[in-house]
């Protein structure tokens, strides 16, 4: 009888590994399920593979080798196949043939095996919680229930691609100022610890009275040269203290409130949250997920306590028969335009369309604001670096001018 090595998740979500004997791969999967576990990876064991360390296998996890972009592409391809009238299992077979990533091939093959065993596609996806999000799984569940899986998969692909494109644009806008900052700090550190001490040593040996800027520069350079490790230690201590403070309930609430109220960045974070809220909730509603369930899914997407509490309150009011727009109207974390468009959507029965429009509007605005901010940050940073360099140059030149005056 064949022997299979498997990786599974128990009821608490912990990863379990073991070996099981079964007549086939499907039988092995069934045995693992009967034991109360969800199989993640099953492969036939060979004498060589049995002797290998399981820790080594864990280092090459399937999850680590499948990118979200590949998931979006596979979702789009499967939607196309299903839209052409091909049933799910043959569609998954076609997807396996089109996929070039071996890890993704294996995942899709496992999905196909699970569906062949009589499970729904939703259940098959739920066996891979680290690869397929709750949003993804719930939208597929709604698509299966409504008989429009191909449409939902197409919406999922658009949703994922839109989110990824927004993140990429924001990252691209921020990367240049970040690189400029790091390079500037590195250059200043090298100047202060290597170049400046050699030049100022001449002034120290001359025993002449030095100007105040030169004295400040020499003291600062000496401190950084001798105690740079202390600066790093203090910086690490501040970061650790901040991290600990944020880990407490009160500290987290203060931090999350600050992210939404800080000058410039607060408004940007609020609009970015509105875009994510509209895009995700709109996509879930378009796929057929009920509003209450969709809000519960969206709530778990936000790491901000202030926003999560507002969505919790909205969910409770909706369960009592209330209105989403009225609940959000009482919150200062949702912009008036968002609330107005939701109210219009509720009245006209086009809530999902209005939410998508909210997302489209704020995604463009966030991108424009980030570009504007970075265009302001770049000259400011160059000016800041210029002022520091001017201070260093003057601090070096002033004693030289004084020495020339004495010679004359």
- Read off the pLDDT of residues 189-212 as tens digits, 9 standing for 90 and up: 898 888 888 888 887 777 778 889
Mean per-residue pLDDT of the chain: 85
CATH class entry, domain 3-61? alpha beta
- How far apart, in whole angstroms, are the C-alpha atoms of residue 90 and residue 184? 57
- The number of residues making up the chain comes to 408
- CATH 1.20.81.30 in the chain is located at 148-408
Let me know: does 281 contact 296? Beta carbons within 8 Å: no
Half-sphere exposure (Cβ direction) of 2: Cα atoms closer than 13 Å:
16
Q: In the chain, pLDDT over 90 holds for what percent of residues?
A: 32
Which neighbouring-strand residues pair with 287?
none
Residue 53: is its pLDDT beyond 70? no
- How far apart, in whole angstroms, are the C-alpha atoms of residue 407 and residue 398? 14
Of 3-17, 133-147, 232-246, the poorest mean pLDDT is in 3-17
- Tell me which architecture the domain covering 148-408 has in CATH: Up-down Bundle (1.20)
Q: Tell me: the pLDDT tens digits for 319-374?
A: 988 889 988 988 888 999 999 999 999 999 999 999 999 999 998 998 888 888 88
Q: Tell me: the pLDDT tens digits for 128-180?
A: 888 898 889 988 988 888 888 998 999 899 888 888 888 888 888 778 888 88
Give residue 339's pLDDT: 93
Residue 408's SS3 state is coil
Burial class for 51, CB neighbours closer than 10 Å (0-12, 13-18, 19+): exposed
Buried b (16+ CB within 10 A) or exposed e, 206-241: eeeebbebbeebbeebbebeeeeeeeeeeeeeeeee
Residue 45: is its pLDDT beyond 70? no
Per-residue confidence band for 63, with pLDDT thresholds at 50, 70 and 90: very low
Better-scored residue on pLDDT, 381 or 17? 381
Q: Which of 4-18, 20-34, 170-184, 376-390: highest mean pLDDT?
A: 376-390
- How far apart, in whole angstroms, are the C-alpha atoms of residue 277 and residue 360? 11
Q: What is the average per-residue pLDDT within 104-124?
A: 91
Residue 287: is its pLDDT beyond 90? no
- How far apart, in whole angstroms, are the C-alpha atoms of residue 131 and residue 40? 11
- CATH 3.10.20 in the chain is located at 3-61
Residue 31: is its pLDDT beyond 50? yes
Of 72-86, 162-176, 253-267, 307-321, the poorest mean pLDDT is in 162-176
Buried b (16+ CB within 10 A) or exposed e, 133-146: bebbbbbbbbbbee
Give residue 207's pLDDT: 73
Give residue 47's pLDDT: 43
Buried b (16+ CB within 10 A) or exposed e, 331-366: eebbbeebbebbbebbeeeebbbbbbbbbebbbebb
C-alpha angle 381-386-390 in degrees, rounded to nearest 5: 155
């Amino acid at each position: 009888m064949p022997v299979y090595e498997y990786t599974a998740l128990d009821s608490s979500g912990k990863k379990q590994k073991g070996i099981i004997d079964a007549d086939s791969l499907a039988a092995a999967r069934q045995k693992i399920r009967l034991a109360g576990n969800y199989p993640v990876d099953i492969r036939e064991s060979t004498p060589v593979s049995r002797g290998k360390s399981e820790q080594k296998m864990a280092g090459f996890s399937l999850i680590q080798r499948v990118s979200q972009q590949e998931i979006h592409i596979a979702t789009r391809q499967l939607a196309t196949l299903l839209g052409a009238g091909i049933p799910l299992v043959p569609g998954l077979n076609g997807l396996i043939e089109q996929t070039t990533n071996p890890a993704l091939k294996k995942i899709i093959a496992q999905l196909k095996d699970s569906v062949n065993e009589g499970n729904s596609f939703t259940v098959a996806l739920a066996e891979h919680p680290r690869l397929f999000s709750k949003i993804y799984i719930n939208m597929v569940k709604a698509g299966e229930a409504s008989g429009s899986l191909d449409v939902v998969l197409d919406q999922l692909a658009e949703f994922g691609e839109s989110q990824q494109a927004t993140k990429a644009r924001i990252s691209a806008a921020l990367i240049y100022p970040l690189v400029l900052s790091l390079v500037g700090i590195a250059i200043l550190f090298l100047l202060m610890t290597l170049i400046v001490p050699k030049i100022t040593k001449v002034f120290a040996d001359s025993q002449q009275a030095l100007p105040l800027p030169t004295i400040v520069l020499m003291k600062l350079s000496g401190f950084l040269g001798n105690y740079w490790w202390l600066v790093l230690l203090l910086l690490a201590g501040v970061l650790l203290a901040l991290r600990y403070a944020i880990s407490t309930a009160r500290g987290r609430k203060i931090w999350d409130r600050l992210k939404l109220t800080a000058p410039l960045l607060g408004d940007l974070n609020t609009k970015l949250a509105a875009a994510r809220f509209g895009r995700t909730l709109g996509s879930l509603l378009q796929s057929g997920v009920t509003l209450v369930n969709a809000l519960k899914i969206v709530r778990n997407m936000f790491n901000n306590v202030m926003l999560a509490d507002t969505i919790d309150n909205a969910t409770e009011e909706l369960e009592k028969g209330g209105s989403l727009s009225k609940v959000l109207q009482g919150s200062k974390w949702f912009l008036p335009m968002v609330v107005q468009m939701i109210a219009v959507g509720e009245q006209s029965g086009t809530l999902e369309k209005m939410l998508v429009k909210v997302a489209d509007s704020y995604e463009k605005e966030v991108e424009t604001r980030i570009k504007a901010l970075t265009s302001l940050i770049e000259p400011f940073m160059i000016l800041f670096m210029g002022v520091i360099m001017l201070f260093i140059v003057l601090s070096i030149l002033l004693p030289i001018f004084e020495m020339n005056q004495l010679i004359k």
